[in-house]
Amino acid sequence: MISVGDFSESRLTVTEKDTAESWGSGTLPVLATPRMILLIEQTACDVLRGKLPEGDTSVGTLVDVAHVSASPVGSEVVCRTEVVEVDRARIRFRVTVTDSSGDVGTGYHERFVVHSDKFMAKANSKLQ
Q: Which residues are catalytic?
A: 33, 41, 67
Q: In the sheet where 56-67 sits, what is the strand order? A: 7-13, 76-87, 90-99, 102-115, 56-67
For residue 29, the Cα-to-chain-centroid distance in whole angstroms is 21
Q: How far apart are CA 65 and CA 21, in angstroms?
A: 20
What region does 28 belong to: left with phi over 0, alpha with psi -120 to 50, or beta?
Answer: beta
Q: DSSP secondary structure string, 23-61?
A: HTS-SSSBB-HHHHHHHHHHHHHHHHTTTSPTTEEEEEE
